Structure 1
Amino acid sequence: MDALVIYYSRTGTTKRLARMISHRLNYDCEEIRSIESYKGIFGCIKAARQDVSSTLPSLCPLEHDPAVYENVILGTPVHASRMAAPVRSFLTSNKDKLKNLALFITHQGSECESTARGIEDLVGTKTVAQLCVRASELDTEDLRTMIDDFVDRISNVGD
């Protein structure tokens, strides 16, 4: 299957899950990187402001073109019940290039459904699969099964 795992991660949680998914199936993997820094307490405050205000931060150029992939598997953390601002920038610039979009969302206890709806509203289509993972679930045995089920749903697109 032709797929790209692409993600944004400020603290490393979403990055860990992205790598688990991409390594499991040998998919290409790329991090969405903002030109701005979000490190430290001031970076956290800046990120929160951008998330709530729907700001579109400038991004570093991508190495992989999402248009050449049949499936794009997008990862975002939940920030204030929303997608991270760099993910919003990526989707705004690339939504017309996405053939099939699947989501994995990491959170600390927030609801993932509103984040997923926001992404679907932005791209104007339903996602083919969604995986919602609490940060505390990253080190559990159940995660492997969750990833397998998620990938199976993506693999069955078009069947």
Structure 2
Amino acid sequence: MADILVTWFSRSGSTEQAARALAGRLGADAEPILTAGSYAGAAGFVRGVWQSLLRRPPAARTGADPTAYRLVIVGTPVWAGQPSAPVRSYLRQYGPRIRSLAAFCVSGSGAPYDEVFDEIEDLTGSELAATLSLAQRQVLAGEADAALDAFAGRLRGDLAKAA
């Protein structure tokens, strides 16, 4: 088992692509956040946005215990300017017990979504070690490498200082 866990929810695959690339750079374990219901297609998109707006977290699970890691990095798509409902559910369940947390988000614009990161901090009760905002088109085109390299380097530096 690695010291770092990268976990994510991805409806369309772009957040997963970024998460797996980041996990590879860090030698981290990689585990998706899973839900019972599907978010595929137009109906899934509408359900996800609606759940995010109403802050109704669905049941979510993962195969790894995040409390066993020195650092957890959570990835979320941005839904209506907020973290995805499955990530919100995951953070409500595990967040306050996670030792150190970093986060990244993937959106249509790639703009910094401070409100997404602020909500993650509110859900966990702790400050994020680092954040990264990516544009979906960058991730899908394989153009997010420099941003992912910089983010991974910062996280490795933070872990080295804490050791």
Compute the displacement of 1:114 (Å): 1.3
Structure 2 length as normaliser, TM-score?
0.90
Output the CA distance in 1 between the equivalents of 2:49 and 2:128.
Answer: 25
Runs of 4+ in structure 1 over 4 Å off: none
Q: Structure 1 unaligned runs (5+)?
A: none
Secondary structure in structure 1 of the residue aligned to 2:12 = coil
Structure 1 length as normaliser, TM-score?
0.92
Identity among equivalent positions (%) equals 32
Partner of 1:113: 114
Written as runs of structure 1 = structure 2, the 5 A alignment for 1:67-86 is 67-86=67-86
Partner of 1:66: 66
**How many equivalent pairs are there?**
157
Contact 1:128 1:153 in 2 (8 A): no
Written as runs of structure 1 = structure 2, the 5 A alignment for 1:139-154 is 139-141=141-143, 143-154=144-155
Secondary structure in structure 2 of the residue aligned to 1:88 = helix
Partner of 1:49: 50
Partner of 1:23: 24
Compute the displacement of 1:140 (Å): 4.9
Partner of 1:99: 99
Output the CA distance in 2 between the equivalents of 1:155 and 1:144.
Answer: 16
Partner of 2:5: 4
Compute the displacement of 1:108 (Å): 0.1
Output the CA distance in 1 between the equivalents of 2:135 and 2:119.
Answer: 19
Compute the displacement of 1:5 (Å): 0.3
RMSD: 1.5
Compute the displacement of 1:111 (Å): 4.6
